[in-house]
A and B are shown apart, each in its own frame.
Chain A
Amino acid sequence: EAQVTQNPRYLITVTGKKLTVTCSQNMNHEYMSWYRQDPGLGLRQIYYSMNVEVTDKGDVPEGYKVSRKEKRNFPLILESPSPNQTSLYFCASSGRGVNTEAFFGQGTRLTVV
């Protein structure tokens, strides 16, 4: 089954404690991205990757890092989480070519206290 898998689904952490949210896709997609969803703001892109070892900032990259060492994986790293990073996070992937849609993971609800 084609899917994007994120882990964990829920996470509560304390300010400053480094964390990683994993994302994996089994569709051999070149393009992967991370979004955060906040009330009234919709989905805002954090980082994206066009292919292995190619990453770039989205609209709200501050406080986040990513890496793309393998095509299927695109982890999101918060080196020093802060309460304003409390949000719902989604990983997405899409294939090469025109007019393709993005496939989303089920989301990770992060709370930073």
Chain B
Amino acid sequence: DQQVKQNSPSLSVQEGRISILNCDYTNSMFDYFLWYKKYPAEGPTFLISISSIKDKNEDGRFTVFLNKSAKHLSLHIVPSQPGDSAVYFCAASGYYGQNFVFGPGTRLSVLP
């Protein structure tokens, strides 16, 4: 059973609008959450993270929200740009952040 779920395999958004990618997890021991971005023929690259002591972390156009009681996090991209088109993976880990569990990914397409 997947411990980290991304229920939307794909998402299309118009350029300039907001993209919202969702992630749910089942393991209450997860303490640290990350988003990775992956372009074709490249390895995943780290985008943004949040620890369980926070409910929001912001980095430029990217904001991650964490709702621990619902075991849910989301990534907001505002405004979306065509270069944001990629597969986004949600990941979770315990306190020492070394053994990561990944979700299946969501393919984001930002349309010009």
Contact = CB atoms under 8 A, between A and B. Distances in A.
A99 B98 contact: no
Instruction: Tell me what chain A mostly uses at the interface: helix, strand, loop, or mixed.
Output: strand
Contacts of B41: 106-107
A84 interface: no
A99 B42 contact: no
Contact of A101 (B46, B101, B103): B46
Given A41-B104, A42-B105, A43-B102, A101 B43 contact: no
Given A98-B95, A99-B97, A107 B102 contact: no
Contacts, number: 63
B51 interface: yes
Interface size class of A (residues with CB under 8 A): 20 to 34
Interface residues of B, number: 27
Instruction: Tell me what chain B mostly uses at the interface: helix, strand, loop, or mixed.
Output: loop
Nearest to B99: A48
A27 to B, nearest CB: 13
Contact of A100 (B36, B42, B97, B101): B97
A85 B49 CA distance: 31
B14 to A, nearest CB: 26
A40 B104 contact: yes
Given A43-B91, A102-B46, 19 more contacts: A4-B43, A40-B9, A42-B103, A43-B89, A44-B102, A45-B100, A45-B101, A92-B100, A97-B96, A97-B97, A98-B32, A99-B49, A100-B97, A101-B34, A102-B91, A103-B46, A104-B36, A104-B44, A107-B43
